[in-house]
């Protein structure tokens, strides 16, 4: 008796899951969305942003015109800077900066060389357009390094020190090792962050779309009078969409991120997909909730956007928790994405295992149960 | 063109927007939420970096050295670690972002005039933050070295310490940050986000609104009526332009009140220019609505063609001059570039018509082209 009941239950689950997959395969818009976001979108996001100073335009106001000033000026070269020539007045400098034609103006004082020779302290001025704060910071950092190196060489000459002697003075030698992403390759970071965001968006949208479609077409009434229990209607939807999302994640990881950006996967892929599956189930609870609020796919998309925003804000996808205001950092425990981000970066980039990530996994599991039960509860109420 | 017909259509549209609560909420909530989410979530200020140290030397000098990190406002000391294994775990768990290891005999070596290599381990997951942290570490090391070196030179050559420090570091770079003196990334981001929001929210609403008319078939009333296509489009889009105009004011106010950004320019320049931009982007929404048949497709297509260019190809994160030639041309095909100049010019640089008229002109031409294409491709007798 028990056995045949279980078989029947399984049979219904399989039949419904196949039905969901077939229905999805006949929805061109959703198919295009799935393919687009798992391939093109991740590629564009990964290759689009390189947040480093690249050939920033700089001009020089050289009041000295000496060998020393020229030596310094010609150190402002690609890759960081691109010397756009010399100008003759403060006024011109201001105008170029106002128009955004140059990022910085280097101002070398008169008597630059003479003061250097006399062993006086000289300062070089740089005006930086900081309306883009990131670039302003980077420009100052790199310019500071260039000027410091110039200064060191001048000092070496004047102190009469040789290379060998320089090795025998008391200084700190900066030996840094960058973990996980040695060359600060932006695409590694950007593509993973985008992949996790896309998984979030689709695990909200696909289950919601599958549920709303029944409402839109009125087939929900047929399901309600069928011998299926509400759970047998719901789980196949989540199962089918979850499978599609895991497949999409695999495609984007193996066919886009790995070949295009050469991401070295440090941790266990099995663990990554288990975590992803757990996350997709947790988030699909919210998707079901969205389905109870909307009547058509258009509204689903709008609600997905509305719910995505706070999830993203509280996730640390672009900004690590320590850089957020305290109140927001506390609220991060409420966003399932924050655990997923921590584990996603942890597994893929850092090679962390369960021994380190167990607390995030536990957090996601607990939050997932709450969200999922909430979604199912809201959705089941519709059958009453 | 008949004004009373346009008025009638606009009034009908307005009533329809008011009646759809979800849509009405979207119209105002999405712009505000996008601003808040991205301005708080995409913080590029690199401060409060959590870090740990291992001090194998435990001398007066090593403590003095480490205190330069502990006392810095950029770093957030998380206590001393017991060993390198612990550092690895802390880094993998994102509890710290970098670590410094002071080697044994640190003080002894430096006092006897020999260089010491200090190892720092930096988390590379967030590439931009890594780059900046590396810069901070290098700067603190360089400062400490300069002091050591001048003391050493003063001792060995028997000169005064002030003289020695001039000899050691003869050139200094003085940076003046224009427009954003404290280089607050929040000023750059929040103002720049006005551009992003106005780039995607107006076309989003417009496309949904126009497609909705077609989806529920009420457009046949328009086809059958005496309204000309010009009157219809104008009347239909006016409420959306009005909503966006209201949003300009709301965003402007939020950016000033919430993020403390200064508004140095002229309102008589900023508001008209913003209105022209909104007319442009509303036109993009019209074009999208002519390409798709369902609200869901309209929402997704708008996101794809407005959000990504506004984020990546506008100069918000990467300046247009740093892009390669092809991308630069691509960037100028979207109105975002011109409007970003207007926003940053008005808020941070205090510029007005005389400096930015070229950008306004580009927007006007852009709007004219988009609207002409939109008008010409809208037919009252659609081919079926």
pLDDT digits (tens, 9 = 90+) for A287-331: 989 988 888 888 888 888 888 888 887 887 777 888 888 888 888
Residue B198 pLDDT: 93
The two beta strands, B116-123 and A122-129, are unpaired
Predicted local distance difference test score (pLDDT) of residue B150 = 86
Give ∠ CA A98-A79-B48 in degrees, rounded to 5: 75
Beta bridge partner(s), residue A136:
none
Q: What is the pLDDT of residue A383?
A: 65
Region for B217 from its dihedrals, namely left if φ exceeds 0, alpha if ψ lies in -120 to 50, beta otherwise? left
Closest chain A CA to residue B74 = A323
List, as ranges, residues 339-358 from B with C-beta within 8 Å of A.
341, 344-345, 348-349, 351, 355
| Extents of the domains making up chain A | 2-48+184-383, 56-167
Q: Are B142 and A148 in contact (CB under 8 A)?
A: yes
Please tell me the distance from the alpha carbon of residue B143 to that of residue B161, in angstroms, as a whole number. Answer: 15
Tokens of B261: 């950004």
Q: What percent of chain A has pLDDT over 70?
A: 97
Sort out which chain B residues have CB atoms less than 8 A from A155's CB and list them. Answer: 167-170
Q: Sign of the CA dihedral B323, A32, A271, A254?
A: negative
DSSP assignment letter at A248? H
Tell me if A315 sits within 8 A of A338, measured CB to CB: yes
In angstroms, rounded to a whole number, what is the distance separating the alpha carbons of residues B196 and B307? 7
The whole-number pLDDT of residue B384 equals: 54
Residue A85 sits at φ, ψ, to 5 deg, of: 115, -170
Q: Cβ of A53 under 8 Å from any chain B Cβ?
A: yes
Range(s) of chain B covered by CATH 3.40.1710.10: 49-168
CB spacing of A169 vs B125 below 8 angstroms: no
DSSP-assigned letter for residue A101: S
Answer whether A136 sits within 8 Å of B183, measured CB to CB.
yes
pTM of this prediction? 0.85
Asked if residue B104 lies in contact with residue B118, where contact means CB atoms within 8 angstroms, the answer is no
**Three-point CA angle B372, B373, B378, nearest 5°:** 100
- State the number of CA atoms in the 13 A half-sphere of A101 facing the CB: 14
Q: Tokens 């006897």 map to which residue? A: B112
Residue of A nearest to B294 (CA): A298
Q: Tokens representing A93?
A: 């400098």
Residues with Cβ within 8 Å of B8's Cβ and at least 6 positions away in sequence, in order, are: B235
Q: How far apart are CA B340 and CA B346, in angstroms?
A: 10
Name the residue among A173, A178, A181 with its Cβ closest to that of B116.
A173
pLDDT value of position B309: 80
Residue of higher predicted confidence among A286 and B323? A286
* Residue from the list B41, B119, B167 with its beta carbon closest to the beta carbon of A175: B119
User: What was the pLDDT predicted at B105?
Assistant: 92
pLDDT of A50 > 80? The answer is no
Structure-token match 């930015």, residue found: B356
Look at the block and give the residue holding tokens 């000026």. A73
Spell out where chain A has E strands: 56-62, 81-86, 104-108, 122-129, 172-179
Contact B142 A148 (CB under 8 A): yes
Residue with tokens 């417009």: B206
Return the CATH fold of A56-167. abc type-2 transporter like fold (3.40.1710)
Which residues of chain B fall below pLDDT 70? 382-384
Phi, psi of A111 (to 5 degrees): 65, 25
For residues A339 and A279, give the distance between their C-alpha atoms in angstroms, rounded to a whole number: 9
Is residue A34 predicted with pLDDT exceeding 60?
yes
What the block records as the tokens of B114 is: 């020999």
The 3 state secondary structure assigned to B138-203 is: HHHHHHHHHHHHHHHHHHHHCCCHHHHHHHHCCEEEEEEEECCCCCCHHHHHHHHHHHHHHHHHHH
Q: Check CB contact under 8 Å for B48 and A322.
A: yes
Q: Would you tell me which residues 277-336 of chain B have a C-beta closer than 8 angstroms to some C-beta of chain A?
A: 294-300, 304, 308, 311-313, 315, 317-319, 321-322
- Using the Cβ of B117 and the Cβ atoms of chain A, whether some distance falls under 8 Å is answered with yes
d(CA A186, CA A53): 13
- DSSP H or E stretch at residue A259: helix A258-261
pLDDT tens per residue across span A155-200: 877 777 776 776 777 888 888 888 888 777 888 888 998 899 999 9
Cβ neighbours of B129 (radius 10 Å): 25
**A155 touches B at CB < 8 Å:** yes
Q: Which helix (H) or strand (E) holds A298?
A: helix A297-313
Q: Is B215 in Cβ contact with A298 (below 8 Å)? A: yes
> Which residue in A24, A109, A155, A172 has the most chain B C-beta atoms within 10 A of its own C-beta, making it the best mutation to test that interface?
A172
- ω into A79 cis (within 30 of 0): yes
Enter the tokens of residue B297. 């497709």
Q: Of B300, B296, B384, B30, nearest to A216 (Cα)?
A: B296
Neighbour count for residue B383 (Cβ, 10 Å): 4
Q: Would you call B110 an interface residue with chain A, using a CB distance cutoff of 8 Å?
A: yes
pLDDT surpasses 60 at A21: yes
Q: Which residues does chain B have within 8 Å of residue A56's beta carbon, measured at their own beta carbons?
A: 319, 321-322
Among the partner residues B180, B322, B345, nearest to A136 by beta-carbon distance = B180
- Which residues in chain B touch residue A91, judged by CB atoms under 8 angstroms apart? none
d(CA B84, CA B330): 49
Mark which residues 249-288 of A lie under 8 Å from B by CB. none
SS3 A75: coil
The pLDDT value recorded for residue B303 is 83
d(Cα A43, Cα A253) in Å, to the nearest integer?
Answer: 11
Over residues A322-343, the pLDDT tens digits come to 888 888 888 888 889 999 998 9
- Hey, which residues 311-340 in chain A have their CB within 8 Å of chain B? 312-315, 317-325, 328
B167 close to A (CB below 8 A): yes
Q: Which pLDDT value is given to residue A163?
A: 67
* ipTM summary value: 0.81
What per-residue confidence (pLDDT) applies to B382? 64
Closest C-alpha among B23, B30, B372, B370 to residue B198: B30
Tell me the three state secondary structure of residue A130.
coil
Return all residues near A341 (Cβ < 8 A) that are at least 6 apart: A193, A196, A315, A316, A317
Question: In the CATH hierarchy, which top-level class contains the domain B49-168?
Answer: alpha beta
The pLDDT score that the predictor gives to residue B267 is 92
Reported as a pLDDT band with limits 50, 70 and 90, residue A266 is: confident
Calculate the average pLDDT of chain A. 87
Residues 123-152 of A with CB under 8 A from B: 123-138, 140-141, 143-145, 147-148, 150-152
Of B111, B168, B175, the CB nearest to A140: B175
SS3 of chain B: the string is CCHHHHHHHHHHHHHHHHHCHHHHHHHHHHHHHHHHHHHHHCCCCCCCEEEEEEECCCCHHHHHHHHHHHCCCCEEEEEECCCHHHHHHHHHCCCCCEEEEECCCHHHHHHCCCCEEEEEEEECCCHHHHHHHHHHHHHHHHHHHHHHHHHHHHHHHCCCHHHHHHHHCCEEEEEEEECCCCCCHHHHHHHHHHHHHHHHHHHHHHHHHHHHHHHCCCHHHHHHCCCCHHHHHHHHHHHHHHHHHHHHHHHHHHHHHHHCCCCCCCHHHHHHHHHHHHHHHHHHHHHHHHHCCCHHHHHHHHHHHHHHHHHHCCCCCCCHHHCCHHHHHHHHCCCHHHHHHHHHHHHHHCCCHHHHHHHHHHHHHHHHHHHHHHHHHCCCCCCC
Test the B interface: residue of A28, A72, A102, A170 with most B CBs within 10 Å? A170
Interchain contact B131–A (C-beta under 8 A): yes
Per CB-CB distance under 8 Å, the chain B contacts of A133 are 44-45, 180, 183-185, 187-189
Q: Do the Cβ atoms of A217 and B153 come closer than 8 Å? A: no
Q: How far apart are the first and last CA of chain A?
A: 29
> Taking CB atoms and an 8 Å cutoff, what residues of chain B touch A36?
304
Interatomic CA distance for residues B306 and B199, integer angstroms: 6
Closest-CA residue of chain B to A121: B170
CA distance B29 to B194: 14
Strands B116-123 and B98-102, how do they pair?
antiparallel
Beta bridge partners of A336: none
- The CA distance from A227 to the nearest CA of chain B, in Å, is 32
Contact A181 B124 (CB under 8 A): yes
Which residues of chain B make contact with A299, given a CB cutoff of 8 A? Answer: 22, 295
Q: How far apart are CA B340 and CA A104, in angstroms?
A: 19
In the block, tokens 């005006």 appear at: A127
**A56 half-sphere exposure, CB direction, 13 A CA radius:** 28
């Amino acid at each position: 008796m028990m056995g045949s009941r279980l078989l029947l239950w399984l049979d219904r689950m399989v039949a419904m899951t196949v039905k969901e997959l077939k229905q999805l395969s006949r929805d061109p818009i959703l198919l295009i969305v799935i393919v687009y976001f798992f391939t093109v979108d991740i590629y564009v996001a990964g290759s689009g942003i390189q947040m480093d100073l690249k050939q920033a335009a700089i001009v020089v106001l050289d009041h000295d015109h000496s060998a020393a000033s020229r030596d310094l000026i010609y150190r402002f070269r690609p890759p960081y800077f691109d010397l756009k020539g010399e100008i003759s007045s403060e006024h011109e400098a201001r105008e170029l900066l106002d128009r955004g034609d140059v990022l910085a103006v280097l101002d070398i004082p008169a008597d630059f060389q003479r003061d250097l020779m006399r062993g006086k302290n000289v300062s070089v001025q740089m005006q930086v357009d900081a309306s883009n704060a990131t670039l302003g910071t980077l420009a100052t950092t790199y310019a500071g390094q260039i000027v410091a190196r110039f200064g060191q060489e001048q000092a070496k000459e004047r102190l009469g020190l040789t290379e060998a002697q320089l090795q025998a003075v008391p200084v700190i030698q900066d030996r840094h090792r960058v973990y996980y992403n040695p060359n600060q390759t932006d695409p590694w970071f950007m593509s993973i962050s985008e992949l996790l965001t896309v998984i979030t968006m689709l695990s909200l949208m696909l289950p919601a779309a599958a549920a709303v479609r029944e409402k839109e077409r009125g087939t929900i009434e047929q399901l309600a009078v069928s011998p299926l229990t509400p759970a047998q209607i719901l789980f196949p939807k989540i199962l089918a969409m979850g499978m599609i999302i895991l497949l999409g994640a695999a495609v984007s990881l193996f066919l886009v991120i790995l070949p295009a950006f050469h991401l070295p996967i440090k941790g266990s892929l099995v663990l990554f997909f288990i975590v992803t599956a757990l996350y997709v189930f947790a988030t699909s609870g919210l998707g079901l909730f969205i389905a109870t609020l909307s009547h058509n796919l258009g509204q689903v998309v709008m609600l997905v956007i509305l719910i995505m925003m706070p999830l993203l804000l509280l996730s640390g996808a672009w900004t690590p928790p320590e850089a957020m205001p305290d109140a927001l950092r506390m609220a991060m425990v409420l966003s399932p994405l924050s655990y997923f981000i921590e584990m996603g970066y942890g597994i893929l980039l850092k090679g962390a295992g369960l021994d380190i990530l167990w607390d995030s996994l536990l957090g996601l599991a607990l939050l997932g149960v709450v969200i999922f039960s909430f979604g199912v509860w809201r959705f089941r109420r519709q059958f009453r | 063109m008949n004004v009373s017909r346009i008025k009638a259509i606009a009034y009908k549209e307005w009533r329809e927007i008011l009646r759809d609560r979800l849509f009405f909420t979207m119209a105002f909530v999405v712009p505000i939420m996008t601003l808040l989410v991205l301005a708080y979530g995409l913080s590029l200020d690199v401060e409060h970096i959590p870090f740990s140290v291992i001090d194998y030397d435990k001398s007066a000098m090593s403590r003095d050295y480490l205190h330069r990190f502990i006392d810095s406002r950029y770093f957030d000391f998380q206590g001393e670690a017991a060993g390198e294994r612990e550092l690895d775990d802390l880094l993998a768990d994102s509890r710290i972002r970098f670590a410094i290891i002071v080697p044994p005999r640190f003080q002894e070596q430096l006092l006897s005039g020999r260089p010491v290599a200090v190892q720092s381990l930096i988390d590379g997951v967030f590439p931009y933050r890594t780059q900046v942290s590396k810069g901070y570490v290098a700067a603190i090391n360089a400062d400490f070295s300069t002091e050591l070196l001048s003391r050493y030179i003063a001792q060995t050559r028997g000169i005064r310490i002030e003289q020695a420090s001039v000899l050691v570091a003869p050139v200094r770079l003085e940076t003046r940050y224009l427009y954003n003196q404290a280089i607050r990334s929040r000023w750059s981001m929040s103002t720049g986000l006005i551009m992003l929001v106005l780039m995607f929210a107006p076309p989003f609403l417009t496309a949904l609104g126009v497609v909705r008319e077609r989806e529920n078939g009420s457009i046949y009333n328009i086809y059958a009526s005496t309204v000309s296509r010009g009157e219809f489009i104008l009347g239909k889009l006016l409420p959306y332009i009005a909503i966006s105009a209201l949003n300009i004011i709301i965003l402007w106010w939020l950016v000033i009140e919430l993020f403390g950004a200064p508004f140095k320019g002229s309102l008589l320049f900023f508001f008209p220019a913003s209105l022209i931009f909104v007319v442009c982007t509303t036109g993009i929404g019209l074009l999208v609505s002519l390409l798709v048949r369902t609200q869901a497709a309209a929402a997704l297509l708008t996101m794809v063609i407005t959000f990504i260019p506004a984020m990546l190809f506008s100069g918000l994160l990467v300046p247009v001059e740093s892009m390669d030639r092809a991308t630069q041309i691509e960037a100028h095909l979207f109105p975002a570039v011109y409007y970003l100049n207007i926003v940053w010019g008005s808020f941070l640089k205090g510029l007005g018509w005389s400096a930015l008229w070229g950008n306004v002109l580009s927007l006007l031409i852009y709007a004219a082209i988009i609207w002409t294409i939109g008008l010409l491709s809208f037919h009252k007798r659609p081919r079926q």
